[in-house]
Amino acid sequence: MAVNVAIRMYNVGFGDSFLVTVRRDSAVWRMLVDCGVHSHGRVKVNGVSRPIGKIVDRIIDDLRAEAAPGEPPHLDVVVATHHHQDHISGFAEEAWAEVDVAEVWVPFVEDPGDPDAVRLRSGLDDAANRLRSLIDSTSARAVANESKDDLRLALAFAVNSSRNAIATDRLLGRGNRRFRRPPSDVLVRYLPDTEAEANTIATPIPGVTARILGPSRDPAKLKRMDPPASVAWLQLADEHRRELDAGGPLFDPMYHVPPDDVSDRLSADAIKARNSMRLAALADDADELLAASSLLERSVNNTSVFFVLDVSGTRFLFVGDSQQGAWEHVLDDQRSRELVSGVAFYKIGHHGSHNATPKSFVHEVLGDDATAMLPWGLVKAWKDSIPKHEILEALEAHHTTVVRADDPQSAPPSDRAVLTIGPDDLWSQLEFTVA
């Protein structure tokens, strides 16, 4: 009996949202993987940024159209791969309250019942909040021109990791946020489970299972998920610096050269040397803040749920935004490696960035003639670095059909799946028939 698998990628911009529908005869199983957009990466329609609510409404409309008359829109599973804005911001929308969701899958770091997870998760939150306030306070002082780009980028990372509380609350049924059925009736899975067998999750459709391969729970690998240790130090430096600003000078003012006397008391050579060194940039920790923020960004990416949907041996790979380290955990394990070998579909990790799709995976594991989807939208600051053209070229070299969210029309035809493009380019869809 043939099974039909449809993977619909919504064009959110720089973010992810995938609706997976598996049908066998009259039996249907639906899973939504992520729903979010980066605050700098929303799609512009006629010059106006499209809010994520529009996409949420569209998803719910699509679900409603499929629901039996009188029944609410339904999802069997919602997966929130990791708690970045560009993957979960959509769940903050109140419209979700009318959608019936049976299961929610999140990474184990979200588990409020696991003390280690709580420590890690609150560490990440804490780092994000502190970095935001540090970047704010640094930006509030006079900042060197060359530091501005660094601070902007650092802020983008910190924002991406923070203020997703409403979305997280809904996913976990906390506060007054919820899906349609009472939170107590929603099964929340914190993945991977510590019990190995619980990481193979059956669906009601025979032959269709999800296999959870990551993130790692190995303490050695967890290091890549730890919040950056430098944040505490940066914060201390910031406090001291503010004390100095407020509480008097470093040396007795008699050692200062008053501004009016500078040209008299210092040689032209000294002033020239000072100017040519552009010392102002040293006064802010912009580069350190950027380094810490980018570490935080990577840490959260590496908490991504990494899984394969297995439909009678035909496999569909979803990796969230797993970066190097998270991938290693999968590729170094023989059984996991087999599961990701020769997959029919690959959700390209982290918007096609460097480090999120290992070269060795494309060249040695993925195989030829696969299909792939690239969830991507323009963020000006990253237009040259993401997606990494080397990755797209490597995929092309293996005849992978890559569908881009922003330009699905450009995808080459595939023997394995049928491409459909939705109205107003709101989504594109690959449909597979598994014998």
Partner 1 sequence: MLQDLNIPEVRPPGRRILRAFAFDPTETRLSGRYLSISIPFEPDLEPGPDGELVQVVDYDASQRVWYQPVDLDDPLLLAQDGLRPSESDPRSHQQVVYAVAMSVIERFQRFTGRRFRWSGNERLRIVPHAFYGRNAYFDPKRRAVLFGYYRADERDTEANLPNQMMFTCLSVDVVAHEVTHAIVHRVRPRFSYATNPDVYAWHEAFADLVALFHHFLFPEVVEEAVARSRSDLQKATALLSLAAEFGRSTGRGGPLRSAVGQPADAAAFTATDEPHERGAIFVAAVFDAYLETFRAQIADLRRLATGGSGILADGELSPDLVRRVTREAVSNADRILGMVVRAFDYLPVVDVTFGDVVRAVITADRDLFPDDAMRLRGHLVEALRQRGIFPPGVSSLADEALLWHPPVQPLSLCAGEHAIDLAQLIADSTMKLDPTGDVRITRFDDEDDDADDADEDDDADDDADDADDADDAAGPPRRRRAGSTIAADFYPKVSAWANAHAAELGFDPDVGRIRMIGMHVGYPTAADGQPRPMIVVQFVQRREDLEEGDNRQTRAQMIAGTTLIARADGMVRYLITKPLPLQREALIADLPAGVAKFADAQHAAGRRRYDAMREWFGLVEDDDALAVWLDEPAVNRLSFASLHSPTAGA
Cβ–Cβ contacts within 10 Å for residue 21, how many? Answer: 20
Q: Quick one: 67 or 273, whose CB is closer to partner 1? A: 273
CB of 148 to partner 1, least distance (A): 15
The answer to whether residues 138 and 284 touch, using CB atoms and an 8 Å cutoff, is yes
Nearest distance from C-beta of residue 421 to partner 1, angstroms:
29
> Is the CB of 171 or the CB of 292 nearer to partner 1?
292
Nearer to partner 1, 13 or 73 (CB): 13
User: Judged by CB, which is closer to partner 1: 152, or 174?
Assistant: 152
- Smallest distance, Å, CB 158 to partner 1? 13
> Mapping DSSP to helix (H, G, I), strand (E, B) and coil, where does residue 216 land?
coil
- Residue 351: which of 393, 397, 406 has the closest Cα? 406
Give the 3-state secondary structure of residue 94.
Answer: helix
The residue (of 199 and 355) whose beta carbon lies closer to partner 1 is 355
310: CB partners within 8 A, 6+ apart: 208, 209, 210, 211, 316, 339
Distance in Å, CB of 213 to partner 1, minimum: 20
- 3-state SS, residue 54: helix
> Whole-angstrom Cα distance, residue 109 to residue 84?
13
In the complex, what is the shortest distance from the CB of residue 407 to partner 1, in angstroms, rounded to a whole number? 21
Q: Which of 222, 201, 231, 224 is nearest to 117 (CA)?
A: 222
The nearest distance, CB 234 to partner 1, in angstroms, is: 7
Rounded Cα gap, residues 180 and 337, in angstroms? 38
Q: What is the distance between the alpha carbons of residues 404 and 166, in angstroms, rounded to a whole number?
A: 29
- What tokens does 192 get? 């991977």
For residues 170 and 298, which CB has a smaller minimum distance to partner 1 in the complex?
298
Least separation, in Å, of the C-beta of 256 and partner 1? 5
CB 322 to partner 1: min, Å = 12
| Interface contacts to partner 1, rule CB under 8 A | 153, 228-230, 233-234, 236-237, 240-241, 243-244, 249-252, 255-257, 262, 265-267, 269-270, 273-274, 276-283, 285, 287-288, 290-292, 294-295, 297-298, 323-324, 350, 353-356, 381-382, 384-386
Chain Cα centroid distance, residue 352: 12
Q: Starting at the edge strand that comes first in sequence, how are the strands of the sheet with 200-202 ordered?
A: 200-202, 208-214, 306-311, 314-318, 345-347, 371-374, 401-404
Q: Are 330 and 305 in contact (CB under 8 A)?
A: no
* Shorter beta-carbon distance to partner 1: residue 174 or 241: 241
Would you tell me how many other CB atoms lie within 10 Å of the CB of residue 163?
A: 17
Q: Which is nearer to partner 1, 153 or 309 (CB)?
A: 153
